[in-house]
Amino acid sequence: MTEGVGMAVAGWVVVFVVGFGVGSLVRVVVFRYAVPAGAPPRRECVGCGEVVVAAGGVVRPLSVRGRCRWCGVRVGAAPWVAEVVTGLGFVGAPAVAAPVWTAVVWWWLVPFAVASALVDVSVRRLPDRLVGVAGVGLVVILAGVAVVQGRPGAFARAAAAGVVVGVVHLAMAAVGGMGMGDVKLAVVVGVGLGWAGWSCVLVGTGAAFVLAALWVAVALVTGGPGARVPFGPFLIAGACVGLAAGGA
Ligand SMILES: [Zn+2]
């Protein structure tokens, strides 16, 4: 019994360490894409010009302290956030993944979710590259699973949910108050939640709006910044709530 608990804890620690390591790549991705709209993805430190992402995609890791290794200027995500949140996301994935092998799907999505949320918080936009790669990868993985496990129904439901959630958010973008980056992310979230079940879709997308509304309300009361909140992080947080609560 105790031995079993020890093994489980050891497993979690290993998964967290792997997630923490992937998080250091997330830090580089945030550094690269947290640039104003229209600007090319960043390669060099803004302080000293030291190359972080070389041509050909070779990456020099950034410090977890959120400062340039060479000149000490603040770059990219806040200290420890990318690494710790990705690590926790990796540990949490099996808890929301039912059956447990679908943790692979969420492990694929966690780094993109953390990177997208951090970029959105930083520059109020969701890079197409991040959302696109996450979405295409998700569809490929789910299609493979649907074939291997003979679950065409789940795949069809995921696709349908992606369309429905996308159309709903597109309508809200047309009214205003939501960017096209949010709509694209909503499609990916819809596909992921749709695979898990329609109840997850309902709870997850509803939770995104409830969380965003709460955030704005608190911001209004406390006088903090809240009028123009990025919606991406709420979409992602809502999806986590949907997966944890909806449990199809
Ligand atoms: Zn520097």
Kindly report, residue by residue over 137-175, the tens digit of the pLDDT. 999 999 998 998 899 999 999 999 999 999 999 999 998
Q: How far is the CA of 67 from the centre of ligand 1 (A)?
A: 8
Q: Is the pLDDT of residue 225 over 70?
A: no
The residue type found at 111 is P
162-171 pLDDT, tens digit per residue, is 999 999 999 9
Angle between helices 2-33 and 128-149 (to 10 degrees): 140
Give the model's pLDDT for residue 100. 63
Q: How far is the CA of 51 from the centre of ligand 1 (A)?
A: 9
Give the model's pLDDT for residue 101. 66
Q: How far is the CA of 28 from the centre of ligand 1 (A)?
A: 14
The residue type found at 132 is G
Q: How far is the CA of 170 from the centre of ligand 1 (A)?
A: 40
Q: How far is the CA of 88 from the centre of ligand 1 (A)?
A: 29
H-helix segments, the chain: 2-33, 81-96, 103-123, 128-149, 152-175, 180-196, 198-222, 232-246
Give the model's pLDDT for residue 248. 44
Categorize the per-residue pLDDT at 1 as very low, low, confident or very high, splitting at 50, 70 and 90: low
Categorize the per-residue pLDDT at 134 as very low, low, confident or very high, splitting at 50, 70 and 90: very high
Give the model's pLDDT for residue 61. 84
pTM of the entire structure? 0.91
88-97 pLDDT, tens digit per residue, is 999 988 776 6
Average confidence score pLDDT of the chain: 90
Q: How far is the CA of 68 from the centre of ligand 1 (A)?
A: 5
Q: How far is the CA of 81 from the centre of ligand 1 (A)?
A: 20
Neighbours of 15 (CB within 10 A): 18
Report the DSSP beta bridge partners of residue 59: 53
Q: Where are the domains of the chain?
A: 1-123, 125-248
The answer to whether residues 244 and 96 touch, using CB atoms and an 8 Å cutoff, is yes
Categorize the per-residue pLDDT at 236 as very low, low, confident or very high, splitting at 50, 70 and 90: very high
**Among 39, 81, 76, residue whose Cα is nearest residue 59:** 76
173-224 pLDDT, tens digit per residue, is 998 778 899 999 999 999 999 998 999 999 999 999 999 999 888 888 887 7
Structure tokens at 39: 């600007």
Report helix, strand or coil for 68: coil
Q: How far is the CA of 63 from the centre of ligand 1 (A)?
A: 11
Give the model's pLDDT for residue 2. 75
Q: How far is the CA of 119 from the centre of ligand 1 (A)?
A: 20
Q: How far is the CA of 27 from the centre of ligand 1 (A)?
A: 15
Give the model's pLDDT for residue 227. 60
The residue type found at 241 is V
Q: What residues flank ion ligand 1 with Cβ within 5 A? A: 45, 47-48, 50, 68, 70-71
Structure tokens at 54: 């070389």
Q: Running DSSP on this structure, what letter comes out for residue 59?
A: B
**Between 227 and 29, residue with greater pLDDT:** 29
